[in-house]
Structure 1
Amino acid sequence: MRFSAVACSALFALVHAGPLAADSLDARATTFTNPILWEDYPDLEVIRVGEVFYYTSSTFAFSPGAPVLKSYDLVNWTPVSHSVPNLNFGTKYNLNSATDRAYVKGIWASSLRYRDSTDTFMWIGCVEGKSYLWTSSGGGAKNNNGEVSSWNWKSTASVNKCYYDCGLLVDDDDTIYVAYGSTNIMVAQLNKDGTAEVKSQQVYTNGQYIEGSRMYKKDGYYYIFVTKPASDEYVLKSKSPWGPYEMKVLVQSIGGPLSSAGFSHQGGIVSTKDNQWYYVAFMDSYPGGRIPVAAPITWSSDGWPSLVKDSSGKWGTTYPMPVSTSKTVPPVTGTDTFQGTSLSHEWEWNHNPDTSKFKLLGGSTGGLQLSTATVTDDLYTARNTLTHRIIGPKSAGTFRLDISKMADGDRAGAALFRDNMAYIGIHREGSTNKLVYVNNLKLDQANSWKTSATGTVAASSTLAAGTTEVWFKVQADITPAFGSSTQRTTTFWYSTDGSKFTQLGGAFGMINDWQFFTGFRFAAFNFATKALGGSVTVKSFDMQKI
């Protein structure tokens, strides 16, 4: 692919060497392909500390919230922490009942920044009218080229004011600012700890709806990047954090890099250590959610950024790799056997979990024991449903479950989790394990996301007596179909030996609606319909591209 003139090769440092393998040294890729991460990580902000990039994203009612991902090259990412380990926004985030829960509420567009003077990562976000600050200090990033040896997130403050769709900035003199708002863009100055507001004022408006503020300082200019959803990104520029600000367009309904997806917008900018700049945005790519794409930017002599486009004037499908490095992160695919003392940061519960109802078993085999935490006939009201993002465009997630300790009335299995979902699993009836494919589970957007359907058994079978383990595979095609009538499908499979799989039921048609915001996820669940006391053990989860 040819690039426009501003994308000359001198703009980039290409990767020259690969990671060491046991018996070879493979050449690293010299280009990357968008999307940079085919998973649902929306409302993003990317920062760099030393030579390490960090990324934050919205998570709504999923817990823990506000994942932190890291990368060495701005292309390959892995989750390493969550800024909000426990959603401390009210009791509804504990999923107490069908009328006391928080689907679609919670963490929307929030901000992550690093304060070098105190070796502190700062996260701030507005949740239902209040703004919450969480911080992690003393992780060693300052003296270790950006690497964090340990995360120590603490709830530091709350401000009785909504910094809507906010972006933090730690200025050169250590002053903390936060840009926020919709239509009317505001800037607030916080106190020296970031725990209270010193002053706030409106800095920009032109009458149209804009949001998603991200605030920066470069070469003496203050910048606020804002989005006109769901198509454009604008840049505000001023010599003072308080304005006045001028505005120019960065992208406007830009085509590419994927078909049947939305326009790339609402993100932020970040520089490499050698001062090359990139804009990272997301695309509405339902049914999979909103996925990140990246492109280089250049700067004019008077301080305005421009996106590097391909020869057709579109967001490029491929660009040269941003950073030359031999450092790597784990792949997004593979098998989790739930070893160790905590879950990996790839996992998020449907709400705050009941911590007394799950346990990592440890030992040489690992495993995650899920005891029933809720008596209900509604999976949406069941606590401790464990979710995992789906990798696109096509992948399969396989859960290996020990079902030997299920109790009468328990329901456990693997779900394709969203506001319109299906699952494959076991309905324990007396001492019989009924194998079921259930579809038509729905939430009602028009009625505050209350459950409108608890599911229909569309196919069933009976497992042989004495079966103690079963593998459930959810095979999903999340190729973008946003804005189209095309319906992507998911199929559900089971096995009793982990080798030979049989499909149960027909293909499930996924919706392309955006209103739930989150894309479809793989999920493991276990809930009771009669009484608590039963359990299953998730012995492994494997995700592979197909």
Structure 2
Amino acid sequence: MHKLGAYLVLLTSFLYLSAGSPLATNALDQRATTFTNPPLWEDYPDLEVIRIGDAFYYTSSTFAFSPGAPILKSYDLVNWTPVTHSVPTLNFGTKYNLNSATDRGYVKGIWASSLRYRNSTDTFYWMGCVDGSKTYVWTASGTNALKNNGEVSSWNWKAAATLSKCYYDCGILVDDDDTMYVAYGSTKIMVAQLNKDGTAEVKSQQVYVTSDSAYIEGSRMYKINGYYYIFVTKPANEEWVLKSKSPWGPYEMKVLVASIAGPLTNAGYAHQGGIVDTRDGKWYYVAFLDSFPGGRIPVVAPITWTSDGWPQVVKVDNAWGKTYPMPVQTSKTVPAPVGTDSFQGTALSDEWEWNHNPDTSKFRLVGGAGGLLLQTATVTNDFFSARNTLTHRIIGPKSSGTFRLDISKMKDGDRAGAALFRDIAAYIGVQKEGTAVKLVMVNNLNLDANWATNTTGTVAAAGPTIDSGTTDLWLRVQADITPAFGTSTQRTTTFWYSTDGSKWSQLGPAFPMTNAWQFFTGYRFAVFNFATKALGGEVAVKGFTMAKL
């Protein structure tokens, strides 16, 4: 059965540490004995976590952002860094190329999807239903992850299949005999058996339906000690566990968590996500909290098992713990989420995502000392219809994102700058009219409830005259994404500029952010450059720095 001895040791050490021992920070420190929830204060929702050797991998939904379905890596379930995207290009239809104001994919695209590694073929599988109609499969083979203790030196994601069926909120399982299954659905939970390659369906049947027609989703499928498990969420406050001796059922159900309090105030309840084990047989549940305006952020808790095979979350005072013992003690580390990116190398780092598929002919990395050239890719007066807006998640609870720009090659009518990106947005930037360059703070950039552009922005403040030949202009977005979900409190963002990188001035009023969940993603830092008259202008992004405040 389950390794109860290991869990009892874990629980004993947890009770000892929570009784008053000093807490380590979330810095990348292998000496830390505890961690604080949330381990990663960034918007990575609809998650699934797997382990290969010493490496944990985490996938997340990304909607219309491209590349999609990021994969993060960790050695301890606490410190994470993005390492690849399962979907390098959103191959779901023309709207994901942001062709026009009426042909775009906001709030569509990649929702809850699944990631698994198949030992027998050395293949990572990503699978997700898009637009409620088709399921897409991307694979990465030849990574040698199993042979290299979970390490992957290079990824080679390829579009493997498109199924004319929606595996809604799916969870893949590779069984002990190498048969591949996928659990999916809402309220009526289905299981499909896939073909040998995992690219087509062999059969599918319903395995569970809620007795009171309660809505459940977010399937994650496992086989542990002879039992099949399907974890599902009852949004947005419960996680259920289905258990059976057969993938086809019948399944029993027990509630794992229901409206569990903590670990942050003014945030939602921990739910959805999935479970993963460590090398030494300990198990953890990784869920997320609705934490707007910052989005949906991960939290981690240990789980124990009953003698008859049901998981139970280790609670603190009947709530999700604010601190727990470190899941893994290791000297292996990953890069910290804060710091400076000077855009060196031949490709963008995996922390970046465009607002839709980019026009690849309109940007390039300079190489050498670094820098990213952004040419205007769209003629529009609509910020939300401009291609090649590059976004970066915000780390909470408070942080700043600073872009260093060369604006000397902007053309008449161009708009460029640093934005706070979501459906209710604002930016600080430059507007070039003729030979004059105006430094402005713009708000009132809004999408409506159907994600069509409602307002195209209002200049809320104007700064001093900027020389059109300026090769160094620093623009900063300073955001407070402390949770305010379910409250009338509006967290604010301020916008700043500097012409020397040391003296800073605020421009415009503090911008109130929305706590609404319907856009699904949290606010992001972004850099943009678009034309209102004609293409041909460009800006150079010399660097980006994210810092905690």
Q: Give the TM-score, by structure 1 length.
A: 0.95
Q: Deviations over 1:267-312 (max 9, x none)?
A: 10000011100000000000000000000000011000000001x1
Is 2:175 aligned against 1:171? yes
Aligned partners of 1:36, 1:191: CA distance in 2, in Å? 38
Does the aligned pair in 2 maintain the 1:13–1:323 contact within 8 Å?
A: no
For 1:141, what is the secondary structure of its paired residue? Answer: coil
Distance 1:488 1:190, change over 3 A: same
Contact 1:52 1:71 in 2 (8 A): yes
Q: What's the offset of the Cα at 1:461?
A: 2.3
1:169-208 residue pairs with structure 2 within 5 A?
A: 169-206=173-210, 207-208=213-214
Q: Give the residue type in structure 2 aligned to 1:291.
A: I
- 2:149 is the counterpart of 1:158: no
Q: Which amino acid aligns with 1:457?
A: V
Cα contact 2:14–2:324 (8 A) shared by 1: no
Name the SS for the 1:122 alignment partner.
strand
Q: After the TM superposition, which residues 31-180 of structure 1 pair with which residues of structure 2 at under 5 Å, given as runs?
A: 31-128=34-131, 129-180=133-184
Structure 2 contact 30–330 (Cα < 8 Å) conserved: no
Trace 1:331-346 onto structure 2 (pairs within 5 A).
331-346=336-351
Q: Give the SS at the match of 2:186.
A: coil
Identity over aligned pairs, percent: 76
Any conservation in 2 of the 1:7–1:308 contact (CA below 8 Å)?
Answer: no
Residues in 1 aligned to 2:31 and 2:57: alpha-carbon distance in whole angstroms: 21
Other-structure match for 1:499 = 502
**Cα distance in structure 2, aligned partners of 1:415 and 1:37:** 22
Provide the residue aligned with 1:482 in structure 2: 485
Alpha-carbon distance in 2 for matches of 1:383, 1:407: 17
Amino acid at match of 2:57: Y
Q: Which amino acid aligns with 1:482?
A: F
Distance in 1, matches of 2:60 and 2:498, equals 35
Give distance in 1, aligned partners of 2:29 and 2:480.
31
Answer whether contact 1:13 1:322 (CA < 8 A) is retained: no
Does residue 236 of structure 2 align to residue 233 of structure 1?
Answer: no
Shift of 1:142: 1.4
SS in 2 for 1:463: strand
Is 1:388 aligned with 2:392? yes
1:147-546 superposed matches below 5 A:
147-206=151-210, 207-310=213-316, 312-363=317-368, 365-445=369-449, 448-465=450-467, 466-546=469-549
* Paired AA for residue 526 in structure 1: N
In 2, the alpha carbon distance for the partners of 1:449 and 1:107 equals 16
Deviation at 1:411, TM superposition (A): 0.2
CA distance in 2, matches of 1:332, 1:474: 17
Question: Match of 2:310, as an amino acid?
Answer: W
- The answer as to whether partners of 1:118 and 1:137 remain within 8 angstroms in 2 is yes
Deviation at 1:529, TM superposition (A): 0.2
Structure 1: which 4+ aligned runs deviate by more than 4 Å? 4-7, 10-14
Across the two proteins, how many residue pairs are aligned to each other? Answer: 530
Equivalent position amino acid for 1:293 in 2 = V
Distance (whole Å) between structure 2 residues aligned to residue 238 and residue 213 of structure 1: 15
CA distance in structure 1 between the aligned counterparts of 2:181 and 2:53, rounded to whole angstroms: 22
Q: For the residues of structure 2 that align with 1:462 and 1:94, how far apart are their CA atoms?
A: 36
Change (3 A) 1:349 1:242: same
Task: Give the deviation of 1:13 after TM superposition.
Answer: 13
Secondary structure in structure 1 of the residue aligned to 2:95: helix
Which runs of 5 or more structure 1 residues have no equivalent in the other structure? 19-24
1:7 Cα deviation (Å)?
A: 5.5
Quick check: 2:374–2:540 contact (8 Å CA) kept in 1? yes
C-alpha distance in structure 2 between counterparts of 1:251 and 1:47, whole Å: 21
**1:208, CA displacement in angstroms?**
1.0
State how far apart, in whole Å, the 2-side matches of 1:149 and 1:496 are: 40
Report if the CA contact (8 A) 1:6-1:298 is conserved: no
Matched residue type, 1:198: V
Offset, 1:9: 3.1
Letter in 2 for 1:454: T
Q: 1:29 aligns with which of 27, 32, 38?
A: 32
Displacement after TM superposition at 1:462 (Å)? 3.5
Residue 233 of structure 1 contacts residue 250 of structure 1 at CA under 8 Å; is this kept in 2? yes
Report the CA distance shift for 1:324/1:7 in structure 2 as closer, same or farther (over 3 A). closer
- Unpaired segments ≥5 residues, structure 2: 1-6, 18-23
CA distance in 2, matches of 1:302, 1:26: 37
- Per-residue CA deviation, residues 42-62 of structure 1 (Å, 9 max, x unaligned), is 000000011100000000000
Render the CA deviation track for 1:432-474: whole Å, top value 9, x for unaligned.
11000000000011xx210000000000023343433210000
Q: Distance in 1 between matches of 2:170 and 2:30?
A: 40
- SS of corresponding position for 1:369: strand
Deviations 1:373-432 (A, max 9, x none): 000001100000000000000000000000000000000000000000100000001111
Q: 1:46 to 1:451 in 2, by over 3 A?
A: same
Alpha-carbon distance in 2 for matches of 1:388, 1:467: 25
Change (3 A) 1:11 1:241: farther
Measured in 1, the distance between the counterparts of 2:29 and 2:115 equals 35
- Is residue 378–residue 535 contact of structure 2 (8 Å, CA) maintained in 1? yes
CA distance in 1, matches of 2:327, 2:280: 10
1:28 offset after TM fit, Å?
A: 1.3
Preserved CA contact (<8 Å) 1:71 1:77: yes
Query: Which whole-Å CA distance do the structure 1 matches of 2:517 and 2:322 have between them?
Result: 24
Distance in 1 (CA, whole Å) between partners of 2:455 and 2:246 is 53
> Within 1, Cα distance between the matches of 2:14 and 2:496?
48
The Cα RMSD (Å) is 1.6
Secondary structure of the residue that 1:380 maps to in structure 2?
helix
Change (3 A) 1:79 1:27: closer
The one-character-per-residue Cα deviations of 1:92-117 (angstroms, maximum 9, x if unpaired) are: 00000000000000000000000000
Using the alignment, how far apart are the partners of 2:366 and 2:464 within structure 1? Answer: 29
User: Does structure 1 conserve the Cα–Cα contact (< 8 Å) formed by 2:124 and 2:140?
Assistant: yes
- Change in Cα spacing, 1:209 to 1:26, as seen in structure 2 (3 Å) is closer
